[in-house]
Amino acid sequence: MEHSIIESLNWRYATKKFDETKKISKTDLEILKEAVRLSASSYGLQPYQVILVESEEKRQQIKDVAWNQAQVTEASAVMIFANITDVGTNEIHNYIENMATVREIPATSLKGFADMMNSVVAKLTPEAKEIWTAKQTYIALGTLLSAAADMKIDATPMEGFDRDAVNKILQLPEIGLSATLIVTLGYRHESDTTQHLKKVRKPIEELFITL
C-alpha cells in the first residue's frame, strides 16, 4: 500500500529519545501550529487551548511530575493541550462573532446555530462538559501527529503525568483550563533503538467491520 501519508505514518513512532542538538525551525513550528488550528472539532468550537512551553524551568518541573520522562526536557518543543473546563455561552458567543467576521455575514444570521449550541451545552453536567472538551483535544492531537509525520518531525503524545500538578505549574485553573495531553516534538536520536522496531497494529480485516 504505497501512499505518502501511509509511508509517513509507518515512519512515525513514539520517540523515546530526542536529539537535543536538532531544533525545529520557526517556520516548521508555525506550520505545526497552523495544522492544529485547522483541526476538526465539534461544531468547529475548539473548546481548548494549546500551551507551548519554552521555559526550561517549567519543562523540568513538568518532567518531575510526568514520571520523569526525558522527552519533556530533551525535545525541541513541548505542547500542552488543555481543555476549557466550563465551556458555555461566552465561548459560543466568541465563536459566532469570529464566524461572522471570517465569512462576512451578520452575526444575527447565525442565531439559530448559536441557540442550538447553547441549548446542547446548557444540558451538560459539569462532568459531561469536562469529558466532552477533553475529547476534543484528542482530535487535535491526531491532526498534529499526522502533520508532524508528514514533515518528518518526531512527536510523542503523553498521558502519563499528574494532571493536577501540571495544572498548578502552568496555573491553568486560573484561566479555566485543565491539561489533558503533553506532546513532545523534535528529531529522534540515532541511539533510540525503538525507531527500528516494526510497527505492531491489528490487521485491516480484524480492525474493520463491514456491515
What domains lie within the chain, and their CATH numbers? 4-86+128-195 (3.40.109.10)
Question: Is pLDDT of 1 > 70?
Answer: no
Tell me the CA distances in angstroms from 165 to 36, 62, 85, 178, 181, one per residue in order. 25, 8, 16, 10, 13
Q: Name the one residue in this structure whose C-alpha cell is 513541548.
A: 78
SS3 of 111, please? Answer: helix
User: Which three three-digit cell numbers place residue 196?
Assistant: 527500528
User: Which three three-digit cell numbers place residue 32?
Assistant: 505545526
Name the DSSP letter for residue 161.
Answer: S
pLDDT value of residue 46: 98
Tell me the CA distances in angstroms from 27 to 15, 30, 149, 175, one per residue in order. 22, 5, 16, 29
Name the nearest CA neighbour of 66 among 181, 195, 192, 186. 181
pLDDT digits (tens, 9 = 90+) for 60-85: 999 999 999 999 999 999 999 999 99
Q: Output the pTM of the full model.
A: 0.96
Tell me the one-letter amino acid at 112.
G
Rounded distance between C-alpha atoms, residue 165 and residue 51, angstroms: 15
Name the nearest CA neighbour of 33 among 24, 45, 42. 24
Helix (H) / strand (E) element for 44: namely none
User: Which three three-digit cell numbers place residue 98?
Assistant: 469570529
pLDDT digits (tens, 9 = 90+) for 19-29: 999 999 999 99
Backbone angles phi, psi at 142, to 5 degrees: -60, -40
Average pLDDT over the chain, rounded to whole? 97
SS3 of 51, please? Answer: strand
pLDDT digits (tens, 9 = 90+) for 189-200: 999 999 999 999
